[in-house]
Amino acid sequence: MDHTPSFFRCPLCAAPLEEASAALRCPNGHAFDRAKEGYTNLLPANQKHSKAPGDDKGMSAARRAFLDKGWYQPLRDELCRLAVASTGSSPVVLDAGCGEGYYTAGVCRALQSAGKTPAAAGVDISKFSVQKAAKRYQGISFAVASCYRLPVAGQAVDLLLNVFSPLALDEFRRVLKPGGCYLYVVPAANHLWELKEILYDRPYPNEEKETPYDGFAYREIVPVSYRVHLPCQEDVRALFQMTPYYWKTGREGAARLHAVSGLDCQIGFRIHVFQRDGQHSAYS
């Protein structure tokens, strides 16, 4: 029986993986079963720092519920625009820290709508998030894996997405093709300011900086800024639970937030657009 090459590489020996029945296998005999949802766990036990690393079930569910209502759609729209502008006709796309696949799938659809034929994959260290991504979005390869040890061949990726996820520069340099595009999303200074005013007695703005990285050329920083009105406690709670503030907030701050019935809030992102050093890319 012919085996189909996988997007991923073996996390144990870095050999190519092939689709074989309900598993991925490498020539050295390592095998990784595919879960019923369609993803593969490529996070070896010795790379785990806990039994279930990454976002838990509650955090993943909260993010899915919040994003499904479109509150962060302007960010996804801008990522889609940049993805189309910065890739050729058949780009290989990797979302490093893909979560529930919201941005992965949005970018993939935008590329297809632009007449391109992308090969897209997403990895996240949270099994619960990847389960949700793989179950909903067909045609995208998803795996549980660490951004710091990507199960991906060197110089295999044309477009790398990194949305509120770890900055694993060594790995990003390794997997991106020369001339490839790297979209790095971080919060703007006043992102979620009104939420922070409720949670903390003395909130402070996020630091905004322009940091050059070896191996990458800056193209631009694209701001995305707007306001939202969250009309109910359910939306406010989902926003809170999907952020790191959920783990960092004391009882008093959480109680204050629980008492609000809605929230008007600033939303702000900065998309840092980099190009991997090397030959000219499709970026225009």
Give the tens place of pLDDT for each residue, 156-187: 999 999 999 999 999 999 999 999 999 999 99
Measured CA to CA, the distance from residue 55 to residue 127 in angstroms comes to 8
Q: How confident is the model at residue 279 (pLDDT cuts 50, 70, 90)?
A: low
- HSE-CB of 36 using CA atoms within 13 angstroms: 0
Looking at residue 194, its amino acid is E
- CA angle, corner 171, sides to 165 and 173, nearest 5? 105
Res 5: pLDDT: 84
Spatial separation of the C-alpha atoms in residues 254 and 177, rounded to whole Å: 45
Asked if residue 280 has pLDDT above 70, the reply is no
Q: Taking a C-beta distance cutoff of 8 angstroms, is the pair 198, 257 a contact?
A: yes
Q: Under DSSP, is residue 257 helix (H, G, I), strand (E, B) or coil?
A: helix
- Composition of the chain by helix, strand, coil, percent to 5: 30, 30, 40
Q: Encoding tokens for residue 121?
A: 């994959």
- Which of the four pLDDT bands, split at 50, 70 and 90, describes residue 50? low
The CA distances from residue 173 to 68, 148, 217, in Å, are: 32, 11, 12
Between 11 and 21, residue with greater pLDDT: 11
What is the pLDDT at residue 248?
85
Q: Which fold has domain 35-276?
A: Rossmann fold (3.40.50)
Region(s) of the chain under CATH 3.40.50.150: 35-276
pLDDT, position 250: 86
Pull the structure tokens for residue 157.
């990726």
Contacts of 32 (CB under 8 A, 6+ apart): 17, 23, 24, 25, 40, 41, 42
Average predicted confidence (pLDDT) for the chain: 92
Q: What is the pLDDT of residues 68-125, one digit of tens each?
A: 999 999 999 999 999 999 999 999 999 999 999 999 999 999 999 999 999 999 999 9
For 236-277, the pLDDT digits (tens) are 999 999 998 888 888 899 999 999 999 999 999 999 999 999
Name the β-bridge partners of 94.
121, 160
- In this prediction, what percent of the chain has a pLDDT beyond 90? 85
How much is the pTM? 0.93
Identify the three-state secondary structure at position 193: helix
Of 53 and 68, the one with more pLDDT:
68
Q: Taking a C-beta distance cutoff of 8 angstroms, is the pair 177, 158 a contact?
A: yes
Q: If you ran DSSP here, which 8-state letter would residue 243 be given? A: S
- Identity (one letter) of the amino acid at 89? S
**Residues constituting the chain:** 284
- Which strands, in side-by-side order, build the sheet including 31-33? 4-9, 16-20, 23-25, 31-33
Measured distance CA(110)–CA(117) in Å, rounded: 10
pLDDT at 55 over 50: yes
- pLDDT surpassing 50 at residue 282: no
The alpha helices in 7-101, defined as continuous H runs, are 57-68, 73-85
